Amino acid sequence: MAMLLNPAQGVTRRSFFRSMALAGAAVPASAMAETEKIAGAGVLREPARDIPVRDDADVIVCGAGPAGVSAAIAAARAGANTRLFDINGCLGGIWTAGLLCWVLDYKTTGLADEITQRLDARDARRAQRRRSRYAYEPEEMKLLLENMCTEAGVKVRLHTGVRAAYREDRRLTAIVTESKSGREAWRAKNFIDATGDGDLAAFAGCGFDLGQPGTGKCQPLTMYALVLVKDAEALKAYLTEEKDTADESQRYRSKTSKLMRELHRAGTPPSYNNPSIFYIRDNVVLFMFNHEYGVNVDDADAITAATMNARRELNAMADGLRKLGGVWDNLRIIATSEHIGIREGRRIHGLYQVTMDDLAKGARHEDAIVRARFGVDVHCLSLDNKEDSHGEITKGLKVKPYDVPLRALISRDLDNMLMAGRCISGDFFAHASYRVTGNSVPMGEAAGRTAALAALSGRLPAQVGISELKLEPET
Ligand SMILES: Cc1cc2nc3c(=O)[nH]c(=O)nc-3n(C[C@H](O)[C@H](O)[C@H](O)COP(=O)(O)OP(=O)(O)OC[C@H]3O[C@@H](n4cnc5c(N)ncnc54)[C@H](O)[C@@H]3O)c2cc1C
């Protein structure tokens, strides 16, 4: 462990060596010289060190969101010694730590259907008019995913961040994690980057794209709030009273504009110009009112500022609405997202890039692993520039149901790494469509099975045939 000598912070040579002694760490002579040499330079050269290799797995999955947890369960069920890492204290990513509570472009086959059936078994899901979407209870989802991983024999490590990756030419050989257990190394035959932001691939030096072509702007972040209201049915009726029509989009627009006026009346105009409320269970609802613009996924300070700003805004809006009384009387925030929702991260270069052209023509692929149907959902990139609005950016873009091929999940730069979820290989517009969780689960399932079959048969992922995966893509 190294430390920056900074008398202003009371970190003197004496306190440095005392803390080393307390940490029971041997203080190599070189460390003393190094620290002395660069004190005050604003950089720190860490002394070289050996770290323990904890395991030699068949498959390592980094990130346990909808894609990563599905990949790990599929790999373990295929017989692979599988390890799964996540920085959060729960499995599920945006589904749980992100409090998303709303699945889109949902599939009725494979692991996706099993998750739905098991939520139903615990009465933890609110089916909707349209079969391709539903609301679920995040606590139930946490428990379900932990049970499914335990049953499958996945070795789960929570509170553990993937912090480095080592490769020999085109083979990823090991990752390094940091956690309460310190810095540890893990080796595997195949790796899956399901970090959403493509962290593993970036650490390994793989090529990627990020943001809107030409501007590099990324979609905004959103923090959700789970809220207890006095009477959810009364609230729903109040928000739809003006336009109670069968036309879903008309009803949605009228609800949203009524909500917008209420938030203005409360003195808290929202940062999201399309505020929405989702009905989760009884009088528990979800507020999607917040957007944080211009935040890059590799900037921890910006993500922290966005997180604290979002939580402040959500509480101000709750306080303002409560003061209005009526259907807002007594409303209480029960929870906000522990991990603010990041819509857009790195798109890692694969053996195939899914493009807007695929969406427009409804592409079909021999090695299809999922058929996506969701529209191009680019949230406005800023509030003060018309060019950045959803309408402008997606003007004229039409989507026909299209296939995502296995090749888009196999890294172009590393022979034994796959991607799953929102960091797969695609362009800015295609990403805005296939990124929803209804597609992340089948992607994870395909990546997990491919990585496992390759590891257990001494082949590379690209050498595994689509028929071997025995997937049931929805048609
Ligand atoms: C605000 C918002 C609203 C959305 N709305 C919807 C919607 O209504 N319905 C829908 O279906 N989809 C929606 N989406 C899209 C969808 O949620 C994501 O695209 C989906 O999360 C993709 O799943 P994933 O597993 O790739 O990523 P994520 O869910 O982001 O999971 C990535 C996981 O990796 C972990 N991780 C990241 N870096 C590291 C690291 N270095 N070390 C260890 N762990 C790491 C994270 O903690 C996280 O658990 C929304 C997304 C956002 C952000």
Which of the residue ranges 36-40, 111-115, 229-233, 427-431 would you say has the lowest mean pLDDT? 36-40
Q: Which of 130, 131, 149, 195 to mutate to test the pocket of ligand 1 (most atoms within 8 A of CB)?
A: 195
Torsion over CA: 77, 81, 85, 90 (sign):
positive
Among protein residues, the one whose CA lies closest to atom 14 of ligand 1: 436
Residue 327 has pLDDT above 80, yes or no: yes
Cα 98 to ligand 1 centre (Å) = 8
Cα 208 to ligand 1 centre (Å) = 18
Q: Which two tokens stand for residue 408?
A: 């888009």
| pLDDT (average), residues 247-270 | 86
Supply the mean pLDDT for the chain.
91
Which of the residue ranges 245-254, 257-266, 384-393 would you say has the lowest mean pLDDT? 245-254
Q: Which two tokens stand for residue 174?
A: 């090991």
239 lines ligand 1 (CB under 6 A): no
* Chain position carrying tokens 């509480």: 315
| pLDDT (average), residues 175-187 | 98
Q: Which two tokens stand for residue 335?
A: 């929870």
Tens of pLDDT along 433-472? Answer: 999 999 999 999 999 999 999 999 999 999 999 999 998 7
Q: Which two tokens stand for residue 222?
A: 């959103």
Residue 368 has pLDDT above 50, yes or no: yes
290 lines ligand 1 (CB under 6 A): no
* Chain position carrying tokens 């720190």: 44
pLDDT of residue 3: 45
pLDDT of residue 43: 87
Question: What residues have CB less than 8 Å from 333, skipping those under 6 apart?
Answer: 225, 226, 227, 314, 315, 318
68 lines ligand 1 (CB under 6 A): yes
Cα 225 to ligand 1 centre (Å) = 16
pLDDT of residue 369: 97
- Is domain 55-213+344-380+396-469 classified as CATH 1.10.4030.10? no
Tens of pLDDT along 295-306? Answer: 999 999 999 999
Confidence of residue 39 (pLDDT cuts 50, 70, 90): low
Confidence of residue 13 (pLDDT cuts 50, 70, 90): low
Q: Which atom of ligand 1 is nearest to the CA of 93?
A: 49
pLDDT of residue 18: 53
* Percent of all residues in the chain with a pLDDT value above 70, rounded to a whole number: 88
Which of the residue ranges 155-164, 240-249, 267-276, 429-438 would you say has the lowest mean pLDDT? 240-249
Residue 184 has pLDDT above 70, yes or no: yes
pLDDT of residue 244: 55
Among protein residues, the one whose CA lies closest to atom 12 of ligand 1: 436
Q: Which atom of ligand 1 is nearest to the CA of 94?
A: 29
Domain layout of the chain by residue ranges: 55-213+344-380+396-469, 225-336
pLDDT of residue 384: 84
Question: DSSP assignment, residue 175?
Answer: E
Of 316, 284, 307, 51, nearest to 185 by C-alpha is 51
Tens of pLDDT along 132-146? Answer: 889 999 999 999 999
Produce one character per residue of 273-304: b if its CB has 16 or more CB atoms within 10 Å, e if not. Answer: ebbebbbbbebbbbbbbbbbbebbbeeeeebe
Q: Please state, in angstroms and rounded to a whole number, the distance separating the CA atoms of residues 268 and 262.
A: 9
String of DSSP letters for 153-220:
T-EEE-S-EEEEEEEETTEEEEEEEEETTEEEEEEEEEEEE-SSS-HHHHHTT--EE-SSTTT---PP
Cα 94 to ligand 1 centre (Å) = 4
63 lines ligand 1 (CB under 6 A): yes
| pLDDT (average), residues 161-181 | 98
